């Protein structure tokens, strides 16, 4: 006897995968964990396939689960788009486009990317800004439509994703005016410099330390964070020297809150990579927005040339 597919159970499975755990999905669906587990078990029984395996970090899909999830990725976004179209007036229809951006890239990159997405007719972009690994995880679970980070995510996420380097932003050493005067000339061999550095895992960290070491400068880390905007604020307070890309510090340089210290270092830059699933989004507006960002020119045409 053939069992009809229960779309409620299928939706619960899809939500569970996107949330990353039964606990998070149950909270989102306003269900108890035990009730949600029973619903997913019922789906597995009706399909005759094991879809999810419990892991230390939440849930992982089986091979059959991945196939079911790919179908869900087409079914439910289309349903949500239809629901949104019916809720709003004909002239005010818009489609959410979800962008994830690594906080290491800084506020100007976020704003430039949003402006690019807003050019697509009917697109209503939203943004998540957080650590690079959180952005990558959200992309893997389809909780964002595309991601901007400082490296090629296809190296870790695999062949199911496409990526493109959008920009290469040159780095400048900047500091508060008073600290800059104390440290001049910079770099000075056998000097010790208070540095505001990226976190150890960040690709810029090693290149900045190597550049300083080659010039006989000892970097004394007074702050280590992936948050580019926090580094900029700490530099403005005179806490140390930061290596930040030009668009992120241009307003502070023009206002005199920060100054360039030393010459612009050759060979030090920050890459901006865009990544999205290889399978095109079901929604035409989302598809156009993702393609426009991935295939467009640099985010900062006047300052993106690599030194």
Helix boundaries (H) for the chain: 7-19, 22-29, 33-47, 63-87, 107-118, 132-140, 154-157, 177-183, 203-214, 228-236, 246-255, 284-295
245 and 283 in a common domain: no
Give the pTM: 0.71
Q: Is 133 helix (H, G, I), strand (E, B) or coil?
A: helix
Determine, yes or no, domain membership for 142.
Answer: yes
283 assigned to some structural domain: yes
Q: How many helices (H) and strands (E) does the chain have?
A: 12, 11
**In terms of residue numbers, what domain contains 123?**
93-167+272-295
- Please list, in sequence order, all residues whose beta carbon lies within 8 angstroms of the beta carbon of residue 96, skipping any fewer than 6 positions away: 84, 124, 125, 126, 286
From CA 268, how far away is CA 106, in angstroms rounded?
17
Cα–Cα distance, 168 to 270 (Å, whole number): 6
Number of structural domains the chain divides into:
3
> Residue 220's domain is classified under what CATH number?
3.40.190.10
Q: Are residues 212 and 173 in the same domain?
A: yes
289 by DSSP, 3-state: which?
A: helix
Which two three-digit tokens encode residue 78?
Answer: 């289309």
**103 and 130 share a domain?**
yes
Cβ(306)–Cβ(168) below 8 Å: yes
CATH number at residue 35: 1.10.10.10
Same domain, yes or no: 141 and 197: no
Per-residue pLDDT of the chain (307 residues; tens, 9 = 90+): 455 778 888 989 988 988 888 888 888 888 888 889 999 999 998 888 999 988 877 888 898 888 888 888 878 877 766 666 665 544 456 789 999 999 999 999 999 999 999 999 999 999 999 999 999 999 999 899 999 999 999 998 988 899 999 999 999 999 999 999 999 999 999 899 999 999 887 878 999 999 999 999 999 999 999 899 999 999 999 999 999 999 999 999 999 999 999 887 888 999 999 999 998 888 899 999 999 999 888 998 754 344 4
Shared domain check, 207 and 163: no
Which residues neighbour 53 within 8 Å (Cβ) at sequence distance 6 or greater?
A: 59, 60, 61, 62
Same-domain pairing of 33 and 118: no
Domain identity same for 179 and 51? no
CA dihedral (116, 119, 122, 124) positive or negative: positive
Same domain, 248 and 191: yes
In a domain, 66, yes or no: yes
Please indicate, yes or no, if residue 280 is contained in any of the structural domains: yes
**Structural domain contains residue 141:** yes
């Amino acid at each position: 006897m053939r069992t009809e597919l229960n779309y409620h159970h299928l939706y619960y499975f899809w939500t569970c995968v996107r949330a990353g755990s039964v606990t998070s999905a149950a909270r989102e669906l306003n269900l108890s964990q035990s009730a949600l587990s029973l619903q997913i078990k019922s789906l597995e029984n009706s399909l005759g396939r094991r879809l999810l395996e419990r892991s230390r970090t939440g849930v992982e899909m089986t091979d059959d689960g991945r196939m079911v999830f790919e179908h869900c990725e087409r079914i439910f976004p289309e349903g949500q788009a239809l629901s949104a179209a019916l809720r709003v007036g004909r002239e005010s229809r818009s489609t959410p486009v979800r962008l994830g951006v690594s906080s290491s890239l800084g506020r100007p990159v976020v704003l430039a990317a949003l402006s690019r997405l807003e050019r697509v007719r009917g697109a209503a972009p939203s943004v998540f800004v957080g650590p690079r690994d959180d952005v990558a995880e959200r992309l893997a679970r389809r909780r964002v439509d595309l991601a901007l980070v400082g490296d090629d995510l296809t190296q870790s996420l695999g062949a199911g994703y496409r990526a493109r380097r959008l920009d290469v932003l040159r780095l400048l050493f900047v500091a508060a005016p008073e600290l800059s005067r104390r440290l001049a000339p910079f770099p000075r061999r056998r000097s010790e410099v208070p540095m505001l550095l990226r976190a150890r895992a960040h690709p810029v960290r090693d290149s900045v330390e190597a550049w300083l070491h080659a010039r006989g400068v000892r970097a004394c880390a007074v702050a280590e964070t992936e948050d580019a905007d926090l580094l900029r604020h700490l530099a403005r307070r005179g806490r140390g020297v930061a290596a930040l890309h030009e668009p992120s510090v241009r307003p502070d340089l023009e206002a005199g809150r920060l100054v360039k210290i030393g010459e612009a270092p050759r060979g030090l830059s920050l890459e901006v990579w865009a990544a999205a699933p290889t399978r095109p989004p079901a929604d035409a507006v989302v598809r156009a927005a993702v393609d426009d960002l991935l295939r467009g020119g640099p985010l900062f045409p006047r300052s993106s040339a690599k030194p």
